[in-house]
Chains A and B, each alone.
Chain A
Amino acid sequence: MILFDDVWFSYTPNHPVLREISIEISPGEVVALMGENGAGKTTLVKHINGLLKPSRGTVFIDGVDTRSTSTAALARKVGFVFQNADHQLFADTIEGEVAFALRNLGFPSDEVQERVSQYLERFDLARYKEQSPFLLSGGERKRLALASVLCVEPTILILDEPTQAQDAKQKLKLAQLVDSFRRSDSIILLVTHDVEFAVQVVDRLLLLSKGCLLADGAPRQVLGNPDLLRRARLLPPQLTQLAHKLADKVPTFPRDIIALEEAVTATSKLLAKR
């Protein structure tokens, strides 16, 4: 469980980057953290693995105050995939990259081997396993970073912009991966600008703007509020925008559309009526 209790944080005195953040996330939840560039999203998630400690207030991970524990201890629990994969890739081979954390945490070598091949397969990277990570494309490096964190099977997984540079197929795989986590007792926190992906996979959406928590609720509820979104420099999903514009002309048209099937049903109904 993740618990933020009235957390404030500043890098320099008198310039709080986070203000009054109180959040509780329970096992099994898939949550998106969204907000404008510079809103404080990355600063907030760095409190979860203890890279940052609050200036005021407390962060508890599974009941333990992050001030009273080490980043190393938290690393077993909290997996963090950075926004920029190059910040975490360093091994000579792709295989070695995935094996690194496993070896470090003392997994037996047959288990290391097994997990390495399992995760390379899962992320569609097995064919490159002996190559250098730096021969991979931007999107592939991103997947490698993901594989090397996931192979440790953390109970809290933080993904900073996981869909960046990913095509539709890879996004679908990522959605399936998130689903497989949902069924376990883990927490997934996605930091993302990808509204379309978020509506598809998350149960709950946190909206951060200028360091403050602007909204915390179901995606449909948060994304259906254009004024709130505008403050966090987000745009509603394309089909929600369409629904709002159509409803302005045809009042019977439903506004709260987020998924393609809903839009198809509502539009077919509208066109059938005439």
Chain B
Amino acid sequence: MSIEIDHLSFSYRGSKTKVLDDITLSLPRGSFTGLVGPSGCGKTTLARCLNGLIPHFYPGEMTGNVIINEWNTIDYAAYELAQKVGLVFQNPENQLVAPNVEREIAFGPENLGVPRQEIRRRVEELIRNIRLEEIRDKAPFELSGGEQQRVAIAATLALQPEILVLDEPTSNLDPLSAFELLQLLHRLNREKLLTIILIEHRLELVAPLAQELVVLDEGRVIAKGPTREVLMEEKVAEVGVAIPKVVQLAKKLNRPHLIQACPLSVESAVKAILEELKR
């Protein structure tokens, strides 16, 4: 399922600022894109445009179009779009509603009238996949921030969307849990061809996984393309995107082969340095 964003601009009611300013992007089916940029640059607003929360829920002025696989988001209700585009919020507390984890996962499909058997199957599969066995009977308020985040993701996946948009999903997670969560997203992307758009400040986590990066600043796209190329652009660091330490190291060492290799993970940096040593 592809996403076509065409000259999209938006300002919230009560504010004159264009939070999104003439954005044009094309994200193919099965792609894994990192959406990055300084705090307040419009990342969350763009995410809200992808599942129809804008313009259907948040009042404001929108121009341009967002086309999800030939559906213009203006013409479809938020509940219809929710079956195609799942959005995991920045703050999981804002989307958890049910008395326990199992019911939370079942909540979305129940609302859409999915048959009982099928709901049961999806719930069990997600509890297994996202490793929620130990907390399945707990209430969302009994869970830690990280656990809540995993439950929110499971509940979103229960609608079987083809596009998953995640707004800083690892911000409440300890580093190992964050790493595991991104491995899970990577697996869903590869095995289920789920199109993933990941908003994330911790670029050291995103860089090894995302094929493409889109960088926003003040509501505009200032860079986009393959992750390696984007990370090497000076202006990306200048707007306040945290370039991973291994990339900074490669830049500082200033050796053509290392820069060309542009290691995105610790493993590839070690490999590139050892190769440079043999050269």
Report which A residues bind B (CB closer than 8 A): 35-38, 83-84, 86, 131-132, 135-140, 143, 161, 164-171, 193, 195-196, 230, 232-235, 237-239, 241-242, 245-246, 249-250, 260, 263-264, 267-268, 270-271, 274
Residue B131 at the A interface, CB < 8 A? no
A260 CB to closest chain B CB (Å) equals: 6
Q: How distant is the Cα of A26 from the Cα of B172 in the complex, in angstroms?
A: 29
Instruction: Select one of B168, B176, B270, B274 contacting A165, CB under 8 A.
Output: B168
Chain A residue nearest to B270 (CB atoms) is A245
B27 CB to closest chain A CB (Å) equals: 22
30 contacts between A and B (CB under 8 A): A36-B174, A36-B177, A37-B177, A38-B147, A86-B91, A136-B40, A137-B44, A138-B39, A138-B168, A140-B39, A165-B171, A165-B201, A166-B39, A167-B240, A168-B38, A168-B237, A169-B239, A169-B240, A170-B38, A230-B176, A233-B174, A234-B175, A234-B176, A235-B175, A235-B179, A238-B266, A239-B245, A246-B274, A260-B252, A268-B253
Residue B145 at the A interface, CB < 8 A? yes
Residues of chain A within 8 A of B270, CB atoms compared: 242, 245-246, 249
Chain A residue nearest to B248 (CB atoms) is A260
Contact with A along B223-261 (1 / 0, CB 8 A): 000000000000001011111111011001101000000
- Structural contact, B39 and A271, CB atoms closer than 8 A: no
Residue B267 at the A interface, CB < 8 A? yes
Residue B113 at the A interface, CB < 8 A? no
Residue B108 at the A interface, CB < 8 A? no
A235 CB to closest chain B CB (Å) equals: 4
8 Å CB contacts to A: which residues of B164-184? 168, 171-179
Chain A residue nearest to B90 (CB atoms) is A138
Chain B residue nearest to A37 (CB atoms) is B146
Instruction: Select one of B146, B201, B244, B246 contacting A167, CB under 8 A.
Output: B201
Residue B144 at the A interface, CB < 8 A? yes
- Structural contact, B38 and A169, CB atoms closer than 8 A: yes
Residue B107 at the A interface, CB < 8 A? no
- Structural contact, B44 and A131, CB atoms closer than 8 A: no
Q: Which range contains the number of B residues in contact with the other chain? A: 35 or more
Given contacts A38-B144, A195-B175, contact A242 B249 (CB under 8 A): yes
- Structural contact, B173 and A37, CB atoms closer than 8 A: yes
Instruction: Select one of B245, B255, B266 contacting A271, CB under 8 A.
Output: B255
- Structural contact, B242 and A167, CB atoms closer than 8 A: yes
8 Å CB contacts to A: which residues of B131-179? 144-147, 168, 171-179
- Structural contact, A131 and B252, CB atoms closer than 8 A: no
Q: How distant is the Cα of A164 from the Cα of B173 in the complex, in angstroms?
A: 10
Residues of chain A within 8 A of B146, CB atoms compared: 37-38
Q: How distant is the Cα of A161 from the Cα of B178 in the complex, in angstroms?
A: 15
Chain B residue nearest to A35 (CB atoms) is B174
B270 CB to closest chain A CB (Å) equals: 5
Q: How distant is the Cα of A84 from the Cα of B145 in the complex, in angstroms?
A: 10
- Structural contact, A167 and B37, CB atoms closer than 8 A: yes
Residues of chain A within 8 A of B242, CB atoms compared: 167-168, 171
Residues of chain A within 8 A of B269, CB atoms compared: 242
- Structural contact, A135 and B15, CB atoms closer than 8 A: yes
Instruction: Select one of A36, A166, A238, A250 contacting B245, CB under 8 A.
Output: A238
Residues of chain B within 8 A of A161, CB atoms compared: 171-172
Q: How distant is the Cα of A83 from the Cα of B44 in the complex, in angstroms?
A: 19
Q: How distant is the Cα of A193 from the Cα of B240 in the complex, in angstroms?
A: 20
- Structural contact, A170 and B39, CB atoms closer than 8 A: yes
Residues of chain B within 8 A of A237, CB atoms compared: 245
Contact with A along B6-30 (1 / 0, CB 8 A): 0000001011000000000000000
Q: How distant is the Cα of A169 from the Cα of B39 in the complex, in angstroms?
A: 9
- Structural contact, B249 and A234, CB atoms closer than 8 A: no
B35 CB to closest chain A CB (Å) equals: 13
Instruction: Select one of A38, A132, A167, A267 contacting B39, CB under 8 A.
Output: A167
Chain A residue nearest to B147 (CB atoms) is A37
A185 CB to closest chain B CB (Å) equals: 31
Chain A residue nearest to B255 (CB atoms) is A271
Instruction: Select one of B37, B171, B249 contacting A164, CB under 8 A.
Output: B171
8 Å CB contacts to A: which residues of B73-101? 90-91, 93
- Structural contact, A239 and B249, CB atoms closer than 8 A: yes
Residues of chain B within 8 A of A169, CB atoms compared: 38, 239-240
Instruction: Select one of A37, A137, A268 contacting B174, CB under 8 A.
Output: A37
5 smallest beta-carbon distances between A and B, as pairs: A139-B39, A37-B146, A169-B240, A38-B144, A233-B176
